[in-house]
Structure 1
């Protein structure tokens, strides 16, 4: 089975939430949505569009590597709450990160191990996977090496709960050659986010390395901060679908 094709809701080329939901429905896309802590579920439940994943987005501000212990506790509650949101939306996975910014605690691996271990029971009860995404060094000063995230997932030793998420934009911003990196990636990966450097939309030359992936993620999700035209969006979706169409 080909991966689920999803799009980050805020990246869709339409000005209002209603128009973005309509665009996703027209293209038969699943959505990845951001929980800032006060997400209104009603529009998503009303439209009944599949939600591939919910991002624990407040982890940009509170996270396992924060130097303030109270903020680390807030991050834990935010992950719990995002798991509950995902359960209500019937989304089978959430997106998390280890840290964000330049001020981080000592012993980051150990802090992350303790933090995510405390999330496992609720995730298991709800049947939701926790994906951990390595960011580029432009976004954080610790736990940005993708292999370190893979080792964290292995050490957590809960494969039904924890897995990795790889973002091509963060990999490019970290200086990796995508084809070489992905062809040698040894860790379980639930989602591959497609993004260009500096949060630009991915270009259309996706076919070769997507076809040569040694793993097949459950989800391919397009995400970018720089805008895309409606024409560019339609071309991109067609190009991705062409990769997985019967040859």
Structure 2
């Protein structure tokens, strides 16, 4: 089995200096997923010599392809283009994007999303950076929230070397999915699986991660993300749990 790389979202790490956070990532030998807030310090991450697994186009919380305002949609494209450039500079193979936040959206969401992402494909291919598209829950967005809709979008884009899907267990739970059932029937390749609980809480230490990952096509990255603060002890416990699940999966092949 191809071993997924374990990673942690930088903004979800416990309180501490950036040096302390980098040290914890190195200690466990995992990767880091970072957010492009518009003022990202490239040299800091280059000097850290930590694998950056992905760069989040974080300003898409406000600027996205389904926004009613045309200028906001244009700014969203500029932000994703910048995020692609940041990822390329950091040798990060992928970025994280979404279709839209909120419920006051423009019409024809699928058509707008296809147009938006199609216009980014050439730059992504040139830079060698893949664009992951993440479905949000209906709590966060008013359109294109079902994973099957993102699969349809990616098929419409018809550039599998550029576009892929990211699934987030927190958004799936918030959408009302039974995760064991969902992953037992899910067939489409996942490039990244983000782990978190309902309402953006940390993943629990009882997560049946081994049951969710298909050994024939595991995700490239398993990344922990949450909004609730945790201690360094809890951080270690989460990482240890994930490694234990991956080791168990390897033994069962």
* Superposition TM-score, scaled by structure 1 size: 0.96
- The aligned residue for residue 236 of structure 1 is 238
The 1-side partners of 2:117 and 2:147 are apart by 17
Does the C-alpha gap of structure 1 residues 206 and 191 become closer, same or farther in structure 2, counting only changes over 3 Å? Answer: same
The 2-side partners of 1:215 and 1:28 are apart by 23
The 1-side partners of 2:216 and 2:145 are apart by 22
SS at 2:227's partner residue?
coil
Matches within 5 A, 1:191-202: 191-202=192-203
Structure 2 gap segments, 5+ residues each: none
Shift of 1:214: 6.3
Matches within 5 A, 1:65-104: 65-104=66-105
- The aligned residue for residue 182 of structure 1 is 183
Structure 1 gap segments, 5+ residues each: none
Conserved in 2, the CA contact under 8 Å of 1:211 and 1:243? no
The 1-side partners of 2:68 and 2:21 are apart by 37
SS at 1:96's partner residue?
strand
Instruction: Provide the aligned C-alpha RMSD in A.
Output: 1.3
- The aligned residue for residue 30 of structure 2 is 29
The 1-side partners of 2:19 and 2:155 are apart by 40
SS at 2:191's partner residue?
strand
1:121 pairs with 2:122: yes
Conserved in 2, the CA contact under 8 Å of 1:34 and 1:54? yes
Shift of 1:209: 1.9
Matches within 5 A, 1:3-152: 3-152=4-153
The 2-side partners of 1:141 and 1:209 are apart by 30
Matches within 5 A, 1:195-214: 195-207=196-208, 208-211=210-213
- The aligned residue for residue 220 of structure 1 is 222
